[in-house]
Amino acid sequence: MWKCPPLRRAAGQDPRGKGQFMKAVLIPGDGIGREIAESVKAVSQALDTGIEWQEYAAGAEYAAEHGELLQPGVLDAIEQCGWALKGPTATPIGKGFRSINVQLRQRFNTYANLRPVRTLPGVAARFENVDLVIVRENTEDLYKGIEYMLTDDIANGVKLITRDASLRICRFAFDYARRHGRRKVTAVHKANIMKLTDGLFLNCFRQVAADYPEIEADDVIIDALCMKLVQKPEQFDVMVAPNLYGDIISDLCAGLVGGLGFAPSANIGDKVRIYEAVHGSAPDIAGKNLANPSAILMAFAMMLKDLGQAGAADRLNSAIQAQVAEGKVVTADIGGTAATTEFTQAVIARL
Ligand code: NAI
């Protein structure tokens, strides 16, 4: 069963005499990243988490100035700390460099992308009581980036699915379900058409499911799933999917609960885990103190829980929920007028 890695080299004795402290990497990223990273630092301090942030730049803005995407030292720091919280980084469409997210996931083999999706009181949404978890395979499928031009007019991309990665992600999903008292795991696929690649994924799912008799297991074709999700999302619980389908249904599910402003995620490997908001760098509102920091704060809460600070994580989630439910000091994306900094201070006041 998957377990949090111990606090390795990055941990030490807290100079304040309160026990252990630990180092974690913070990558603000592009656009609104800097603003929401400031919220994280303020909340971390208010919660007295003992986390010492190692801050590194990465992304398109850093590249424009320095000619490279990642500040030197960031990869070593992530390797050493094992824990990182990352802001959004911009990726050019159809040309240019490969996504930093994809590079980090492949470099550190953070094979599981965990995305819980829940309705929050106070956030206008199409449904009430949505409570889903998406487990997305993070390292292969079409995102492996194996693309080439066969001729000037024919582009080819390789959909790579392996038995090892499929067994690993399915086992992760069932372990998660067991640990969190979830009733069902659904495999997402298109094995009726992609009989070898998605067929292999589905066979691995069925093999793993046999080891978890107490958890219901079923499977659904990706297009049918999209329709069922927008009609009756409560029929699903934990969903496990290859990379591309997982990416798409994550945003679809975020839309079910009121958008990307409240969608956190974790990229989990055996040695490294990187937490982030699902949303992007929001260039239209960057630098204006308008961003909603909730998603990255909720990703930070996921990190705190995995670090063994469940109490602090619960306090943070409750404070965000109460602040949003009250609806007075909230950001523009959910109908308010508050600045990022005002919302952050209001959440801190509730901690
Ligand atoms: P986006 O998520 O940045 O923005 C979509 C819309 O949602 C915009 O109107 C934006 O203002 C709003 N929005 C997003 N986050 C918000 C927040 N926290 N508070 C308030 N409003 C928010 O998606 P878009 O425009 O497609 O992508 C912009 C850039 O971000 C692209 O370069 C893309 O590659 C990158 N991106 C990075 C991700 C990551 O690093 N994890 C994930 C998704 C996109």
**How confident is the model over 312-343, as pLDDT tens digits?**
999 999 999 999 999 999 999 989 999 999 99
Contacts of 278 (CB under 8 A, 6+ apart): 115, 250, 251, 254, 260, 263, 264, 265, 295
33 lines ligand 1 (CB under 6 A): no
How big is the CA angle at 269 (ends 60 and 134), to the nearest 5 degrees?
A: 85
**pLDDT confidence band for 12 (50 / 70 / 90):** low
> Out of 85-89, 209-213, 252-256, 311-315, which region has the weakest mean confidence (pLDDT)?
252-256
Arithmetic mean of pLDDT, 121-142 = 92
Instruction: Give the residue, out of 95, 98, 247, 279, with the most ligand 1 atoms within 8 A of its beta carbon, to mutate for a pocket test.
Output: 279
pLDDT at 10 over 70: no
Arithmetic mean of pLDDT, 81-97 = 86
Q: What is the pLDDT of residues 39-60, one digit of tens each?
A: 999 999 999 999 999 999 999 9
> Out of 5-14, 66-75, 107-116, which region has the weakest mean confidence (pLDDT)?
5-14
Q: Other CB atoms closer than 10 Å to residue 182's CB: what's the count?
A: 18
Q: How many angstroms does the Cα of residue 193 sit away from the middle of ligand 1?
A: 32
pLDDT of residue 15: 45
Question: Mean pLDDT, the chain, as a whole number?
Answer: 92
Sequence-ordered strand ranges (E) for the chain: 11-13, 20-27, 51-55, 83-86, 112-118, 131-137, 147-151, 154-157, 184-189, 216-221, 238-241, 264-268, 273-277
Taking the CA of residue 295 as reference, the ligand 1 atom at the shortest distance is 18
**Residue of the nearest CA to atom 37 in ligand 1?**
280
285 lines ligand 1 (CB under 6 A): yes
Instruction: Give the integer Cα–Cα distance in Å for 40 and 16.
Output: 21
**pLDDT confidence band for 37 (50 / 70 / 90):** very high
59 lines ligand 1 (CB under 6 A): no
pLDDT of residue 259: 78
93 lines ligand 1 (CB under 6 A): no
333 lines ligand 1 (CB under 6 A): yes
Which pair of structure tokens corresponds to residue 125?
């949404």
Taking the CA of residue 276 as reference, the ligand 1 atom at the shortest distance is 41
pLDDT of residue 1: 47
279 lines ligand 1 (CB under 6 A): yes
